[in-house]
Amino acid sequence: MSDSEDYEDFGSGDESWDELEEDIELDKADSVDAIENLQCLFLSSQLFKSKIEKEAASFASSRKISVSVAKTILMKTKWNTPTASKLLSNSKYGDKLVRSRKSHCDVCDEPNKELYSLLSCNHEFCLDCWRYHTRTRLQQRLDVCCMGHNCEILLTESAVLPLVPGALGKKFEEILFDCMVLSYPGVRFCPGPDCSVIVMALEESCPKRVRCQSCATEFCFQCGLDFHHPTECSTIKVWLQKCSDDSETADYIATKTKDCPMCSSCIEKSGGCNHVICGLCKYEFCWVCSGDWKEHGAQYYECSRFKENPDAVRAELESDTRASLSKYLHYFQRWDNHSRSLKMEKNFQRNLAEIAKSEVQKSNGTWIDWAHLKGAGKVLAQCRYTLKFTYPRAYFMENSKEKMLFEYQQGVLEADCEDLAWKLENARKFSVAELEQASAAAQKSRMTLVKSTSLM
């Protein structure tokens, strides 16, 4: 993008920073959208309920069974019709309690009680015992089965609901609906707080990003955690557990300050850029590895890569625990660094908005002429997010050519990301072309890494 015509979709020059289109793409032809984002539908509870009721009714009609029995079987077979048909022929369900006679109840041992039984097994008990049994099973989150000795008949929805009126009955219906959603393939609830939206995948279920249309929560469709490509779901769970372990607390591992490598003065990081200049001695160094910045620019792959101890004698003396902790600290500090930088993104965007506002007030172009700052800011946030989740993957990878390639791509993205961050923090010193070039380079590096890890 080189001139204001490229931003005609943003509207008139009288727009404010916040009104500028947020979905800025540097190269839509090369977008990784299909790799990262899941094609899906967002359904209300009512809409999904009507869908599964229709499927259950169709199955019930073709098999000449009740809808409640159909739903029970379909849930147990994850809505696989052929499997459900086989289960139907090998299982029995109690769909309705019917009054049989007055007699002695074998459970409560009281005489002259109205007894009720399931047509499937004819085990007779009084209504009070049926209710108590049903209520107890539901409170324990267990299937409701017949009380008869060794009887495996399961009570369906239509048999249970008359036995638990009121709040417990309503709770049972809610739990039953949750079970239907959880059992349905390619469907899950949005994990956002107080959000009832149901997400239905339109492609094979996989660990892709979903952004809820209702609450804007972003999550991985497969595991429900924050989107974490290029790290696998099983790996990110182990990593997060490791990070929360009391023996390796974040307070011990990462701090907000570092000593200047030159003069030892205490420095607190206040921005997202890793290019740090000591306020006392003006020494320039990398926040991540503390290396001299002048010698650092072309060696990001060295900064990002964990290096095993090359000294064999020293390695023998170093305990396994200490060596393991050293490796963990290396990756955690870089993970935590990007996490902290991402938390500063709102302030960073406000700073970019202030720059644009100042230039517009000076009649140095319109808001549209400064839209490249917002686009570059979005690219920077995307790059930091991707980089954050490269470190858990690298930590668990075995030493191999695959890991060498991954860490090289990781290092290139780190370099391009920091170059873009530095230029944006000093946006007035750089031309539009220089900022767009830095933004395009960072986006291209991110695309390369995302695409290559999707194929591994």
Reply yes or no on whether 40 is catalytic: no
Which residues does 91 contact at the CB level (< 8 Å), separation at least 6? Answer: 73, 154
- DSSP 8-class letter at 255: -
What dihedral do alpha carbons 402, 407, 413, 415 form, nearest 10°?
-150
- Dihedral sign for Cα 132, 138, 144, 150, please: negative
Task: For residue 177, give every residue at least 6 positions away whose Cβ sits within 8 Å of its Cβ, in sequence order, or none.
Answer: 45, 49
Distance CA 72, CA 54 (A): 14
Count of CB atoms within 10 A of residue 202's CB?
Answer: 9
Strand, coil or helix: 154: strand
Whether the CB-CB separation of 454 and 37 falls below 8 Å is answered with no
Catalytic residue among 273, 286, 383, 417: 273
> Which candidate, 193, 174, 185, 180, places its Cα nearest to that of 222?
185
> What are 161's two structure tokens?
């609901």
Catalytic residue list: 273
